Amino acid sequence: MGSAGSKPAAGDDATEAVESLVGDRYEVEIGPVAHGGHCVARHEGRVLFVRHGLPGERVVVEVTDGTATSRFLRADVVEVLTASPDRVKPACPYAGPGRCGGCDWQHATPSAQRGLKAAVVEEQLRRLAGLEMDVEVEAVDGPPGLPEGLGWRTRVQFAVDPATGAAGLRRHRSHEVEPVDACAIAAPGIEELGIERRDWTGVVAIEAAAASGSLDRAVVVTPAEQDGRMPIVELDRPVSVFRADDKGRVKRVHGRAGVREVAAGRTWRVSGNGFWQVHPAAADTLVGAVLDGLEPRPGDVALDLYCGVGLFAGAIAERLADGDTVIGIESSREAIEDARHNLRETQGARFEVGKVERVLTRPGFLRRADVVVLDPPRAGAGRTVVERIARLTPRRIAYVACDPAALARDLKYFAERGYRLRGLRAFDLFPNTHHVECVAVLEPAPKKR
């Protein structure tokens, strides 16, 4: 038999497996934070991406993923030898190595978390966009009467342990379910439903929504057997129930068609499992940042890309004259139906169903736009969408991003098309996780003489 990783001898039916390092323990010093909820450490020249540590700590880590030939290893802190002054005891008993993967930074103070997130945004801008700038991640008020960073998440996706029927949350980088009695970052309106206390045998997943602007509650249930009967859902509070199929299509079983959210001075209908920001203060916070950046004015043609239920389109329309053009584009037909309902009394507002890159290239669709806001999914907008936006020659662009790497990449694309970064604000709308929301404002760069 050859050494580990060598080619098998002629006629061998099996190749010797490369040595796994999972379970090995090393003493290391934690280095800088990295994108994704971990920090960087090194052991004998090899890079380790370490969770549950903080920069400057001396710790013992246990490898969770990697082999003797891997370029890097993943590991968890299992013993803290020298603690950071920013370390605190996690508020949730399910946070920690091998447990729930939803929170990355419960072991750090809220201010330290914001500092870590700022460092990540700065690093991504520098590495991917060539931009050097100081970033401050702004704190956002959470629900009153709760400790900072807890009880804010108004949308939660629960998985179900097929062996026990218990609802829980996924472990980090795993399909395994961590059953929980309660989620520390879930909004009170979610916990009042009692989802974790119910037997969900026959169900794969439950998505729960608790509107922050009304008493509306909804759950989207995905049965394990798509051709079987819908399980009876009995929760501790009145709730609208929806059934999802294996293709993500949602059908109402009973109750309201969705939930009513309140933001930007109006009530918004969000049907089924439609998108809405999960922090109760997020919608107003982001609307304020977008309006400050765009400075829309009467006579403008405005474009809202990845518009969802029309939040930014509606807010911009309030700054325009009656009848000024505001166009929203969104691939979800259900979201567009909500947007049309929500802005049904707004003259000049219209909405298009389809992928943004395709709608923007329809013959005769639009020749110019004065202000553009885009709030793409985590993967970002991409080069094609950036080029289409630049062709419309807007004077201001507001880019709302939940992933700093995708944002930085797209800012580079905008720079190639003649747009510079005018300003950037970052908000801690996902406390205790590694996620951070940014609003970047762009304008045409001065032409070189």
Distance between CA 63 and CA 47 in Å, rounded? Answer: 12
Is 413 marked as binding a ligand? no
Q: Please tell me which residue in 100, 307, 402, 438 is annotated as part of the active site.
A: 402
| CB neighbourhood size of 416 (10 A) | 12
Whether 369 and 394 have beta carbons less than 8 Å apart is answered as yes
447: DSSP letter: P
Residue 113 labelled as part of a binding site: no
Is 183 an annotated catalytic residue?
A: no
What H or E segment, with its residue span, contains residue 65?
strand 58-65
DSSP code of residue 17: P
Dihedral angle computed from the Cα positions of residues 212, 213, 217 and 218, in that order, rounded to the nearest 10 degrees: -90
Burial of 134 from C-beta contacts in 10 A (0-12 / 13-18 / 19+): exposed
What angle, rounded to 10 degrees, do the helices at 383-391 and 404-416 form?
50
DSSP letter (8 states) at residue 290: H
Residue 306 counted as an annotated binding residue: yes
The reply to whether 94 sits in an annotated binding site is: no
Neighbours of 447 (CB within 10 A): 6
What span, in angstroms and rounded, lies between the C-alpha atoms of 12 and 366?
Answer: 64
- Per the annotation, where are the binding residues for S-adenosyl-L-methionine? 277, 306, 330, 375
Which residues form the catalytic set? 402
